[in-house]
């Protein structure tokens, strides 16, 4: 069978060629389609970045209007899909709920099943961008026992999501522009990150020619894990535990260094960045601003900063080039915006959605794509004879 390269975790394997996102992990550089993340964070919007990632160029005014109105037309969920939410326990984690509902979209839109039918891929793209925020808001409403709110298509994507999440049918919901802007910025910063675990999952599932909904449903489950998107919830749990134990970051860092089982500095370290994550830099600044404005500060932010300072001056972290990643400060912002800890990873999924879609489309159009099928190094038994039950 020839020579097989053993590369657990695909640390050195380039599984795709891609023109979407560029990362220089040594320098801490991140660009979407050539545009530095800092410029997009400052000047762009999530909807514009979604267009950029999927179609390769920033939209003209007309393209943006057209894209926005297409998305607005598809925000409603099929009434039967709403009934799915009744089947889950009230305390269900919202990530599997989100993944299940996205998988179910391929049962409602059977025109999506052929991945080479371009008009339908386009329609599935729009449906996903429009409906996933509605599904996410419904998952939240279900968890707190409140009625679902139909989308209001006069609102922007983020504003609509906030209203469906926090609004009530009985009273008007005032959208705080600072909150909407902060969430839009966080979505931009999460929108793509080349071949991370969930995006690789989307590509791998899609390489079997499974449809876009099925592939993205699988990507959402990959994002659920605490070493990936689940880290944003885990960071907040870690900070809350440190606070409950008296706020001693020194003691916590010692436990990390002693490799106590299950104790990692969550929100630190990255497979590609061996420098400060450029997204974390922007998020740290935003956390400062938004927390001061909305909640008048947060003791957990002080603990996070002390923890960062302590880690960055410690040989253990310096030698291993471990810096804060995107997840280190996001949870503090989500908390200030009113989201419960369990829900943070859903917000990551909403942000990452256009990146997943862009990668699936790039993968399906690439003539070099083959079904993903890694090899293995077999370490099991040599051939042996079957023994009847009476002789074992
Ligand atoms: N705390 C303590 N030690 C760490 C950490 C950490 N957060 N991250 C890495 N290390 C150590 C690790 O023990 C290893 O040391 P040694 O070589 O002595 O055994 C060394 O640093 C290299 O780590 P690794 O686990 O081989 O690195 P990786 O590239 O396989 O893993 C990672 C990357 C992100 C999974 C890992 O850094 C980690 O578990 N971080 C905490 C979870 C986290 O914040 N995840 C979010 C990642 S960024 C956004 C996203 O994808 O969601």
Query: From the CA of 268, how far away is ligand 1's center (Å)?
Result: 7
Tokens of 129: 């961008």
Query: From the CA of 53, how far away is ligand 1's center (Å)?
Result: 27
Q: Of ligand 1's atoms, which has the minimum distance to the CA of residue 257?
A: 2
Query: From the CA of 265, how far away is ligand 1's center (Å)?
Result: 8
Give the residue numbers annotated as catalytic, written as ranges.
270, 327
Count other C-beta atoms under 10 Å from residue 140's C-beta: 22
Tokens of 331: 């949870």
Residue of the CA atom closest to atom 34 of ligand 1: 270
Q: Of ligand 1's atoms, which has the minimum distance to the CA of residue 235?
A: 44
Q: What b/e string do you get for 19-44 counting C-beta neighbours within 10 Å, with b at 16 or more?
A: ebbebeeeebebbbbebebeebbeeb
Residue of the CA atom closest to atom 41 of ligand 1: 266
> How many whole angstroms separate alpha carbon 192 and alpha carbon 47?
13
Domains of the chain: 16-226+346-365 (1.10.580.10), 231-337 (1.10.230.10)
Q: What is the pLDDT of residue 1?
A: 54
SS3 369: coil
Residue of the CA atom closest to atom 44 of ligand 1: 267
Residue of 7, 198, 231, 269 with the most ligand 1 atoms within 8 Å of its CB, for mutation? 269
Count other C-beta atoms under 10 Å from residue 90's C-beta: 8
Give the length of the chain.
Answer: 392
Q: Of ligand 1's atoms, which has the minimum distance to the CA of residue 325?
A: 48
Predicted complex: ipTM over 0.95: yes
Say if residue 336 is exposed, middle or buried (CB neighbours under 10 Å; 0-12, 13-18, 19+): buried
pLDDT mean by block of 10 residues, the chain; 392 residues: 88 96 96 98 98 98 98 96 93 96 95 92 98 97 94 95 95 92 97 98 98 98 96 96 94 94 93 95 92 84 95 95 95 94 97 98 97 95 97 96
Residues 211 and 316: beta-carbon distance below 8 Å: no
| pTM score of the predicted model | 0.96
List, chain by chain if needed, residues with CB within 6 Å of any ligand 1 atom.
Answer: 9, 196, 227-229, 231, 256, 264-271, 320, 322, 325-327
Rg (CA), the chain: 22
User: Which residues neighbour 88 within 8 Å (Cβ) at sequence distance 6 or greater?
Assistant: 97, 100, 142
Residue of the CA atom closest to atom 12 of ligand 1: 320
> How many whole angstroms separate alpha carbon 44 and alpha carbon 382?
59
Given the DSSP bridges, would you call strands 21-24 and 29-32 parallel, antiparallel or unpaired?
antiparallel
Query: From the CA of 262, how far away is ligand 1's center (Å)?
Result: 12
User: Which residues neighbour 208 within 8 Å (Cβ) at sequence distance 6 or greater?
Assistant: 371, 372
Residue of the CA atom closest to atom 28 of ligand 1: 271
Q: Of ligand 1's atoms, which has the minimum distance to the CA of residue 267?
A: 44
Measured between alpha carbons, how far is residue 63 from residues 39, 51, 67, 69, 120 in Å?
21, 9, 6, 10, 19
Map tokens 């020579």 to a residue.
3
Query: From the CA of 269, how far away is ligand 1's center (Å)?
Result: 5
């Amino acid at each position: 069978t020839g020579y097989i390269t053993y590369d657990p975790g695909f640390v050195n394997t380039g599984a795709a060629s891609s023109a979407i996102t560029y990362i220089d992990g040594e320098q801490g550089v991140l660009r979407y389609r050539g545009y530095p993340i800092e410029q997009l964070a400052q000047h762009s919007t999530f909807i514009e970045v979604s267009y950029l990632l999927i179609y390769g160029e920033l939209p003209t005014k007309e393209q943006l209007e057209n894209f926005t109105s297409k998305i607005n037309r598809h925000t409603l969920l099929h009434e039967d899909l709403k009934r799915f939410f009744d089947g889950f326990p009230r305390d269900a984690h919202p990530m599997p709920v989100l993944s299940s509902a996205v998988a179910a979209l391929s049962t409602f839109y059977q025109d999506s099943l052929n991945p080479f039918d371009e008009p339908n891929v386009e329609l599935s793209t729009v449906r996903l961008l429009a409906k996933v925020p509605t599904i996410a808001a419904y998952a939240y409403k279900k968890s707190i026992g409140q009625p679902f709110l139909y989308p209001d298509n006069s609102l922007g994507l983020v504003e609509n999501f906030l209203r469906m999440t926090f609004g009530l049918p009985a009273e008007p919901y005032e959208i705080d522009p600072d909150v909407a802007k902060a969430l839009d910025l966080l979505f931009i910063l999460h929108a793509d990150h080349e071949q991370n675990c969930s995006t690789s999952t989307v590509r791998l599932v899609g390489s079997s020619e499974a449809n876009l909904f099925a592939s993205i449903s699988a990507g959402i489950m990959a994002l659920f894990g605490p070493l990936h998107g689940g880290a944003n919830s885990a960071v907040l749990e870690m900070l809350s535990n440190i606070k409950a134990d008296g706020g001693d970051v020194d003691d916590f860092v010692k436990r990390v260094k002693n490799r106590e089982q299950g104790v990692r500095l969550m929100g630190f370290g990255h497979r590609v960045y061996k420098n400060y994550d450029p997204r974390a830099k922007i998020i740290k600044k935003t956390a400062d601003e938004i927390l001061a404005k909305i909640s008048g500060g947060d003791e957990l932010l002080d603990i996070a900063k002390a923890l960062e300072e302590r880690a960055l001056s410690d040989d253990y972290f310096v030698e291993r080039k471990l810096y804060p990643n995107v997840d280190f400060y996001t949870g503090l912002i989500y908390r200030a915006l009113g989201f419960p800890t369990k829900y943070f990873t859903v917000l990551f999924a909403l942000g990452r959605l256009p990146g997943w879609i862009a990668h699936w489309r790039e993968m399906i159009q690439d003539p070099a794509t083959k079904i993903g099928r890694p090899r293995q190094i077999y370490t099991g038994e040599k051939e042996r004879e079957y023994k009847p039950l009476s002789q074992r």
